[in-house]
Amino acid sequence: MEQKKVVTIQDISCFGKCSLTVALPIISAMGLSCAVIPTAVLSTHTGGFTGFTFHSLTDDIPKIADHWEREGIAFDGISTGYLGDERQIEIVSDFIGRFGRGKMVFVDPAMADAGVLYKGFDMDFVKSMRTLCERADVTVPNITEAALLTGTEYREEGYGEDYILDLLHKLVGMGAGCAVITGVSYDGVNEGAVAYDGVTGEITQYFTGRIPTRCHGTGDVFAAVLFGALVLGYGMEKSLRLAVEFTVDSIRKTVGDETHWYGVKFEQAIPGLIDMLKE
Ligand code: PXL
């Protein structure tokens, strides 16, 4: 049987476990053929490191697209993650226009967490990211990103279902086919993700025991599994369960190891992910 083929478009942070160095191994382990477009090369990610290098590959993206078009290469799905600036978002949007017709377009607006934008981003960047989310079949912001994208007040805790549903309705109202908000905890005891399908109106959610810690790169881990599972044809219910359980398992394997502050040990959770896929 022909193998499903996807491309993921995000940076390579050479050290630090996020974006491509997380997406590629996870998507490959799920049995998909995963092509990449590295949008930039950084010596490390920008969370917790200072003095990192940043080499943009924006101008290579149209050339890669031109070559792939000449070769007749096509994909079953396209996912995007951390992007460096507004021009890069525009060029990635153009790539989606050329390769994404009728395919799954999955956008993780990786730009903020815990109520604050990542280093180097401002509200113009948010505005630009909104245009990418508008054309996504599935977009997966955390609460901070969803609040920024929709111009809604950010709430760290003590919110209820109505707050999350309001964010989801606004995201779908912008044009996203389906919105999934990650890192949702109503009671501080359980944490998970809530999805709203703008076409069917269906709400799907999956929660599991919350581990009270913040680890870098967990949004990228979650996005890789959810994207892979949806392209493989699993429904939202199973896909959300796989993504939440794998993310939590990666965190569980990391907490308590202070030498591993820069990312999660997702590698050690991969055998469990493969078992869950077979269920
Ligand atoms: O995990 C998201 C991410 C991806 N890539 C880079 C980052 C971050 C978050 O800080 O800095 C370069």
Reported as a single tens digit per residue, the pLDDT across 76-100 is 999 999 999 999 999 999 999 999 9
Cα(248) to centroid of ligand 1, in Å? 19
- Taking the CB of residue 150, how many other CB atoms lie within 10 A of it? 19
Question: Could you read off the pLDDT of 206-242 as tens digits, one per residue?
Answer: 999 999 898 999 999 999 999 999 999 999 999 999 9
- Return mean pLDDT, the chain: 97
- Atom 12 in ligand 1: residue holding the nearest Cα: 45
Cα(82) to centroid of ligand 1, in Å? 6
* The CATH fold of domain 5-273: UDP-N-acetylmuramoyl-L-alanine:D-glutamate ligase (3.40.1190)
Residue whose CB lies within 8 A of the most ligand 1 atoms, among 11, 42, 55, 80, for a mutation test: 11
Instruction: Point out the ligand 1 atom lying closest to the alpha carbon of residue 11.
Output: 5
Mean pLDDT of 122-147: 98
Report whether residue 246 contacts ligand 1, using a CB cutoff of 6 Å: no
Cα(9) to centroid of ligand 1, in Å? 13
Residue whose CB lies within 8 A of the most ligand 1 atoms, among 118, 119, 144, for a mutation test: 118
- Taking the CB of residue 187, how many other CB atoms lie within 10 A of it? 11
Mean pLDDT of 131-151: 98
Cα(103) to centroid of ligand 1, in Å? 26
DSSP summary character for residue 267: G
In whole angstroms, give the CA distance from residue 264 to residue 234.
Answer: 25
Sorting pLDDT into bands at 50, 70 and 90, what band is 199? very high
Long-range contacts of 87-93 (CB under 8 A, 24+ apart): 87/58, 88/39, 88/40, 88/56, 88/58, 88/61, 89/125, 89/128, 89/129, 89/131, 89/132, 90/128, 91/58, 91/61, 91/62, 92/9, 92/39, 92/61, 92/132, 93/131, 93/132, 93/135
Cα(152) to centroid of ligand 1, in Å? 23
Query: What global pTM score does this model have?
Result: 0.98
Report whether residue 22 contacts ligand 1, using a CB cutoff of 6 Å: no
Cα(200) to centroid of ligand 1, in Å? 33
Contacts with 31 (C-beta within 8 Å, 6 or more apart), sequence order: 3, 4, 232, 277
Report whether residue 47 contacts ligand 1, using a CB cutoff of 6 Å: yes
Q: Specify whether the CB–CB gap between 140 and 168 falls below 8 A.
A: no
Report whether residue 82 contacts ligand 1, using a CB cutoff of 6 Å: yes
pLDDT at 178 over 90: yes
Sorting pLDDT into bands at 50, 70 and 90, what band is 1? confident
Domain ranges for the chain, please list them: 5-273
Q: Which of 21-25, 142-146, 211-215 has the lowest mean pLDDT?
A: 211-215
